[in-house]
Structure 1
Amino acid sequence: MSYDARGKRGFTSLQKGVAAIKLMVMGESPDSIDGYMRMSERTARESLYRLVRDVVETFGDKYLRKPSLKDMKQLYATHEQQHGFPGMLGSIDYTKWIWRNCPVAWKGQYTSGHHGAPSLALAIVASEYLWIWHAFFGVTGSNNDVNVLDQSPIFEDLLS
């Protein structure tokens, strides 16, 4: 257990990890942790940064990358064998994500008439083993699935 300069007990790694996960899951700002755990905004932000950095260092080479030619051949074969769809790399899904902590100055840019709140479009391509190898955030509003795909670099990447 570590103590700060005032002799008060510091937060454990588990507590910092819980705070970081809460920030990611709930989409809250780091200063919201103060009321929940009495943790400073700086400590919460640093905990989130360290968690994300560790995830990237641990899983980056295998899971946080685009598929290689070998990977694509394997994905094609798997989808054809299991689903009868030749030439399929993965499933693409699109959803709208409400941006609760959108800065006030940006709210007009990210708010559409039918949502009433700032939101972003999220498009993800994943294999059946949940290897997410493409993710795209874009502006909602008049965007439908086709418009989001048109803005996303996925087809350009696959063609090149």
Structure 2
Amino acid sequence: MFRLRKNKFQQIDNAMESRYEYFQLRYDARGKRDFTRLQKCFATIKLMALGESLETIDDYMRTSERTARESLYRLARGVIETFGDKYLHKPSLNDMQQLYAVHKERHGFSGMLGSIDCTKWIWRNCPVAWKGQCTSGHLRSPSLILKVVASQDLWNRHVFFGVVGSNNDVNVLD
């Protein structure tokens, strides 16, 4: 549903339940059942995938804004702790040599790790105190930028999310 295969979602869901008490079925002081791990994981991934606000999850899943925020924080931390060694590592020397070889063969020039792309988001709810820091010369409203270097095997080799400005390609890659 969110460009995430069902087996990957289940892998994340099961890992969160087995490692963290927060994602296990619990009951509150009144004996009322808490949200299931499936509800918490689904709501959180929906927040991340669609960029929705915490209030929309309240309407859709009947969770409080606090539960949605806490689920978002705990799932993000849990995914990093659980899957970070496999998916969030720097490319090894062997990985880089393979990427160089593939790009030289495919594109005809060497020294290329991947393709860089960026997108800008207008930050409508930017705090007033930050507006001057988050506004660049060519965009009149506060905005954030996402820059990604992806290799041909669709692995993100570098990701940067931050303020527009002096974050040009050279600075970001440094």
* TM-score normalised over the length of structure 1: 0.76
Query: 1:25 and 1:91, CA in 2 relative to 1: closer, same or farther beyond 3 A?
Result: same
Q: Would the aligned equivalents of 1:27 and 1:101 in 2 still touch at CA under 8 Å?
A: no
Q: For residue 168 of structure 2, give the secondary structure of its aligned residue in structure 1.
A: helix
Counterparts of 1:64 and 1:98, CA distance in 2 = 28
Counterpart residue number, 2:110: 86
Amino acid at match of 2:155: W
Counterparts of 1:74 and 1:139, CA distance in 2 = 32
Counterpart residue number, 1:10: 34
Counterparts of 2:109 and 2:83, CA distance in 1 = 29
Once the two structures are superposed, the pairs formed by residues 60-71 of structure 1 within 5 Å of their partners are: 60-71=84-95
Query: Structure 1 residues 107-116 or 129-138, which shifts more?
Result: 107-116
Q: For residue 89 of structure 1, give the secondary structure of its aligned residue in structure 2.
A: coil
| Deviation (angstroms), 1:100 | 4.1
| Deviation (angstroms), 1:112 | 4.7
Query: Structure 1 residues 71-80 or 59-68, which shifts more?
Result: 59-68
Q: Would the aligned equivalents of 1:17 and 1:51 in 2 still touch at CA under 8 Å?
A: yes
Q: For residue 42 of structure 2, give the secondary structure of its aligned residue in structure 1.
A: helix
RMSD across aligned positions (CA): 2.5
Counterpart residue number, 1:148: 168
Show CA shifts across 1:46-104 (max 9, x none): 21122212321333123212222221111111212333332211111121123344323
Which of 120, 128, 131 does residue 155 from structure 2 map onto? 131
Structure 2 residue 49 is the aligned partner of structure 1 residue 25? yes
* TM-score normalised over the length of structure 2: 0.71
Counterparts of 1:116 and 1:32, CA distance in 2 = 28
Amino acid at match of 2:49: V
Counterparts of 1:29 and 1:39, CA distance in 2 = 13
- Runs (4+) of structure 1 moved beyond 4 Å? 112-116
Unaligned runs of 5+ in 1: none
Amino acid at match of 2:27: Y
Which of 126, 130, 137 does residue 102 from structure 1 map onto? 126
Equivalent residues, number = 150
Unaligned runs of 5+ in 2: 1-24
Once the two structures are superposed, the pairs formed by residues 49-64 of structure 1 within 5 Å of their partners are: 49-64=73-88
Identical residues among aligned pairs (%): 69
Counterparts of 2:113 and 2:138, CA distance in 1 = 33
| Deviation (angstroms), 1:17 | 0.9
